[in-house]
Amino acid sequence: MDDKQIHKDLIMHFGYSLLYVMVVAAGAVIVELFARGMRWFGVSDFSYYILSGTAHLLLVMDAVLLVAVCYYAARKLWRRAAYEKN
């Protein structure tokens, strides 16, 4: 594989990973908005806090996933650069 193709593949992989992370974050926001909407309808506080807690947990997991994606993409790019240097 030539140099440009390797970088293009890495960028595409990183872009799709970021797109996935954004979709998961949007899902967490939707769950939080749904929980707030349920509260307006008079649903119990327990149900609201369960859904709200789920949304917050989803956002924390999404942040961890984003850090992992960035770390592994950078590591792969550095290894490719070190391999090309030698």
Question: Which tens digit of pLDDT belongs to each residue from 6-42?
Answer: 778 888 888 888 899 899 999 999 999 998 898 888 8
Single-letter amino acid, residue 1: M
Distances (CA, A) of 29 to 35, 51, 58, 86: 10, 11, 9, 46
Q: What is the pTM of this model?
A: 0.74
Instruction: Please compute the mean of the pLDDT values over residues 71-79 and round it to a whole number.
Output: 85
Cα 23 from Cα 17, distance rounded (Å): 10
Instruction: Decide: 58 and 28 in contact? Cβ < 8 Å.
Output: yes
Kindly report the average pLDDT of the chain as a whole number: 86
What tokens appear for 61 in the block? 């997991």
pLDDT of residue 2: 67
| Collapsed DSSP state (helix, strand, coil) of residue 2 | coil
